Amino acid sequence: MISTRRLRLLRAIAVLTFFGFTGKLFWMQVVEGSATAAEAMAQSTFTSHIPALRGQIQDINGLPLAVTIDARNITADQTLIRDPGVTAQVLAPVIGADPTALERTLTGTHRFVYVAKEVTPQVWKEVQNLNLSGILSESASRRVYPQGALAANVIGFINSDGIGRGGIEYSFNKDLAGTPGRAVFTMAGGATRIRTGSQDIVQPTPGASVRLTIDRDVQWIAQRAIADRVKYARADFGMVTVLDTTNGHIVAMAVAPSFNPNDVRKTDPALLGNRAVSNVFEPGSTQKVLTMAAVLEEGAATPTDKFVIPPTLRWKGVKTFHDHKPHGTLHLTLTGILAQSSNIGTIKAATRIGPEKLYEYLQKFGFGSRIGSGLAGESAGILPNIDGWSATSFPTIAFGQGVSVTQLQAAQVYQTIANDGVRITPTVIAGTVDANGDFQPAPTQPQTRVVSANTAKLVREMMESVVSEEGTAPGAAIPGYRVAGKTGTANRRDDECHCYRGYVSSFIGLAPADKPRFVVAVVLDNPRNGHYGGVLGGPVFKEVMTFALQKYRVPPSGSTRPVIPTTWK
């Protein structure tokens, strides 16, 4: 029998125990309750990013050149995967992964890891049907280029994180990307997601679409023509640019060889840029048009002025200049100098204005400055400051060596001549399209008067002689249209040997010469099957220009070209 004293002791212990448990429960529920709940919630709650729909890149007619389609990112919660090895063996064939590497991805204690990115909705449905614990997904998107390699060097590409890394994708990445949203979820029942509330969802803002000045049809013809010519000439690469002379729009810009932006990983990195705006070369005889424009504008000569062209020209006792073909003494007019592409004649004409004036016109035509076309990777070219010119810089620059330009800069000279002496900054951006489909045109491009309308007209008429039987590019003529152009065959600066080796062959022309609509510039770098610009570039010009004139229904010329004497006795 328990004594009264012991009974009291047991009662006291029971009371103390009761109050101890009660106090502990109070502490856990009241004092630590919010912290414990927060910790539990943190362990089962995560934030999922909702990607914004990337805007399209379109051609001038609104046809898509780059689009974004729905996709899924497959993710995993490693803590919910019972057997990573078995899961990997089952999952790998469906997503095209290596089972061993996939097992490593699935093993660990991370609540969130990426398993595969940008898979199609069909693939995700197959994964769902496997009912694999811990395998989840999130909304994603996939960039697709429906025209493949068409205009790839202009459009560019994106990396695995959806960020533009080349072309328009890079230079307009912020506009195209939009703003991603987010959603907060809690986990329940292993792999079941439950949204915490509408207040924890931020909807994404779609990116704007960028409409280019590129015409898909003209681009296709230009790309095919230059690719064929690069192959024929065994050139390192080639470029074609088509400019609308009335507004500075880049209608086509093709580079060969090119790449497919749908599969950049297998592409030589050297092909990913846009050589038409990044690579520089010495323009050679195509620059003689600029020199002639300067001479005419300064009133130093007329198209029919007479020049005596000796077989060679000794310059200040330090260098002897020749023409591209040996000849005796020639009697050429200023027009004949351009038609026959005489270096000696160009030097003699340029001496009438001097180096300071020539340098001034080089700057006016845009040499030595970035154009601002909206294209990534633009180079300013190389125009040496006149204070650093050597004893032979003036004569060599007059006929196109000693300076370096991009193809777009060279084409810009001809656009200026075609547009009655007014230089319009070339652009590839027509405008933007918002999420509602409303088009906002780009601002009008800056315009600069370089030479008078009369000078530009005289230069065009002189250039027509180049495409005649008396000139260096009769094969560039287009039946029914007056065509003006200029050939170029420049010594090629080779960075490997820091010397001149090989050639850069080019032809730049405009049509119709009496009312110009388009400029087409063709350049082939280091051709090995021939090297004259008229022979290699002329046929490409003719094919591309003929298509552009026909597509845009440009009427044939309503007059015949004026016959300007090229020789005299």
Closest by CA position to 158, among listed 264, 253, 271: 264
Closest by CA position to 36, among listed 25, 21, 46: 25
User: What is the spatial distance between Cα 244 and Cα 249, in angstroms, rounded to a whole number?
Assistant: 5
Backbone angles phi, psi at 478, to 5 degrees: -120, 120
Alpha-carbon distances of 160 from 65, 140, 146, 264, rounded to whole Å: 19, 12, 18, 10
Alpha-carbon distances of 208 from 56, 58, 67, 172, rounded to whole Å: 7, 11, 12, 10
* CB within 8 Å of 326: residues ≥ 6 apart: 311
Write out the two tokens for 73: 């990112």
User: What is the spatial distance between Cα 502 and Cα 191, in angstroms, rounded to a whole number?
Assistant: 65
E strands, 436-529, are 439-441, 447-449, 484-494, 499-511, 518-525
Number of helical (H) and strand (E) elements in the chain, helices listed first:
18, 24
* CB within 8 Å of 86: residues ≥ 6 apart: none
User: What is the spatial distance between Cα 260 and Cα 271, in angstroms, rounded to a whole number?
Assistant: 10
Closest by CA position to 243, among listed 417, 465, 65: 417
* Catalytic position from the list 137, 171, 209, 285: 285
In Å, the largest CA–CA distance within the chain is 152
Write out the two tokens for 528: 């090995």
As a whole number of Å, the end-to-end CA separation of the chain is 152
Burial classification of residue 154, based on how many CB atoms lie within 10 Å of its CB (0-12 exposed, 13-18 middle, 19 or more buried)? buried
User: What is the spatial distance between Cα 336 and Cα 565, in angstroms, rounded to a whole number?
Assistant: 7
Count CB neighbours of 41 within 10 A: 11
| Whether 285 is catalytic | yes
Count CB neighbours of 225 within 10 A: 24
Write out the two tokens for 463: 């250039």
Q: What is the CA radius of gyration of the chain?
A: 35
Instruction: Give the Cα-Cα-Cα angle 376, 378, 383 (nearest 5 degrees).
Output: 175
E strands, 395-461, are 422-424, 429-433, 439-441, 447-449
DSSP state, 404? Answer: B
3-state helix, strand, coil in the chain (%, to 5): 40, 25, 35
Active-site residues, by number, are 285
